[in-house]
Amino acid sequence: MKLLVAVKRVIDYNVQIRVKSDQTGVDMDNVKMSMNPPDENAVEEAIKLKDSGVATEVVVVSIGHEKCQDTIRSAMAMGADRGILIKTEDLIEPLAVAKILKAIVEKEQPDMVLLGKQAIDDDSNQTGQMLSALLNWPQGCFISKLGVNDKTITITREIDEGLEHLEIQLPAVVTCDLRLNEPRFASLPNIMKAKKKPLDVIAIENLEIDISPRVKFLKVEEAPVRKGGTMVADVKELIQKLKYEAKVI
């Protein structure tokens, strides 16, 4: 079984986001970058399947500029076998990402595609679903448990009513939740080995895919600063404030 895992390079989740002074976007100069956290869960799950003998190869793909190679190398240090970078300097929207991944799937012919449920930079939660539609493959979104049986997979996903258990035919697309597993730390020897693993770089122009944006950003603003709360002496005062000041009852 071959597994394809899509990873994205994002601003590290520990970094305080700053908006550019001209409000055209987020300031990314000299900012620490890392692999999107849910994508780490996808990589970890793929490697676990390989370690257990279920999968034979784990291929990692990323879309972006040259520095995305670092993200791919991180995945290979965790245990992935090889990487593919679709090189572009443009900002790629979820639909374009799904189209690019479709082209890679058609080339690589994996049995399953794993992605993080969403990226922490745009929070779109769209790519996996769009890829599933383009491929006409079944999908399992934000999964918290995965089992593989010959030609099917069983997944568990959290819904409003509790847990949903599904059986899905392969090939399939799955998006991974943070509850799925605990990503491993890459050891120093594996980091060194990852530098020698194959990594193919493909110019996005060679794929001949329409990546023109469908969304235009007008302005990016800082979130408003939250005001401090008000202490009340008793329930009666609370009700009065909710009724006459907040006017919510």
Percent of the chain with pLDDT over 90: 73
Residue-wise over 96-126: b if at least 16 C-beta within 10 A, else e? bbbbbbbbbbeeeebbbbbbbbbbbeeeebb
163 pLDDT tier (thresholds 50, 70, 90):
very high
State yes or no: pLDDT of 70 exceeds 90.
yes
Average pLDDT for residues 23-42, to the nearest whole number?
90
Question: What's the confidence (pLDDT) of residue 28?
Answer: 83
Give the residue among 160, 117, 159 at the shortest CA–CA distance from 141. 117
Contacts of 27 (CB under 8 A, 6+ apart): 18, 19, 20
For 94, list phi and psi in degrees, rounded to 5. -50, -40
Average pLDDT for residues 219-227, to the nearest whole number?
84
Average pLDDT for residues 226-235, to the nearest whole number?
86
What does the pLDDT look like over 80-123, one tens digit per residue? Answer: 999 999 999 888 999 999 999 999 999 999 999 999 999 998 88
Name the class of domain 2-245. alpha beta
Average pLDDT for residues 43-63, to the nearest whole number?
96
Average pLDDT for residues 115-133, to the nearest whole number?
93
Question: What's the confidence (pLDDT) of residue 145?
Answer: 95
Question: What's the confidence (pLDDT) of residue 166?
Answer: 94
State yes or no: pLDDT of 226 exceeds 90.
no
18 pLDDT tier (thresholds 50, 70, 90):
confident
126 pLDDT tier (thresholds 50, 70, 90):
very high
Percent of the chain with pLDDT over 70: 100
The whole-angstrom separation of Cα 69 and Cα 67 is 5
Expressed in angstroms, the distance from the first to the final Cα of the chain is 58
For the entire predicted model, the pTM comes to 0.85
What does the pLDDT look like over 173-222, one tens digit per residue? Answer: 999 999 999 999 988 999 999 999 999 999 999 998 998 888 888 888 88
Q: Among all chains, which residue has been given the structure tokens 């784990």?
A: 58
